[in-house]
């Protein structure tokens, strides 16, 4: 499958890894929008959160189970924001479900 994030998981494209377990991979966003900007992704490919079903919801659960560990690995002790963009209107540019973990400063209240 020609998926950028699958290639990153496979090590075919370099990334700045901050956390990895059996199900999840987390790495620094190449264009950070906050002092800490990490992408947390399931190792199993799924296009977006809009594709989740009862059978695949565990992929999102595994990401969320890893989030506190990723946040601690990044030194985030005072909160952070988690965002997933979905589809065209959500401005999703990479079609492998991913969660932006943003922090390291007081983030703006406005989200859109």
> What pairing do the DSSP bridges indicate for beta strands 24-28 and 99-103?
unpaired
User: CA-CA distances (angstroms) from residue 87 to 84, 91, 111?
Assistant: 10, 6, 17
> What pairing do the DSSP bridges indicate for beta strands 81-83 and 17-20?
unpaired
- The smaller minimum CB distance to ligand AMP, of residues 54 and 110, is found at 110
For residue 94, give the DSSP letter.
Answer: S
Place of tokens 């560990």: 69
Residue 56 binds ligand AMP, judged by CB under 6 A: no
Interface mask toward ligand AMP for 69-98; x: CB under 6 A: ----------------x-----xxxx----
Spot the catalytic one: 31, 45, 58, 98: 98
- The smaller minimum CB distance to ligand AMP, of residues 47 and 62, is found at 47
Considering only 3, 15, 44, 62, the residue that binds ligand AMP (CB under 6 A) is 15
CA distance 96 to 91: 13
Q: Which residues are catalytically annotated?
A: 98
Binding site for ligand AMP (CB under 6 A): 4, 13, 15, 29-31, 39, 85, 91-94
């Amino acid at each position: 499958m020609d998926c950028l994030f699958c290639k990153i998981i496979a090590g075919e494209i370099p990334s700045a890894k901050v956390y990895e377990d059996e199900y999840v991979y987390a790495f620094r966003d190449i264009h950070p929008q906050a002092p800490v900007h990490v992408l947390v992704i399931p190792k199993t490919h799924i296009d977006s959160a809009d594709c989740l079903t009862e059978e695949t919801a565990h992929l999102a659960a595994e990401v969320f189970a890893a989030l506190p560990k990723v946040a601690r690995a990044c030194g985030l002790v005072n909160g952070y924001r988690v965002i997933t963009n979905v589809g065209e209107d959500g401005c999703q540019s990479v079609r492998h479900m991913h969660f932006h973990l943003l922090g390291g400063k007081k983030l703006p209240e406005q989200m859109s």
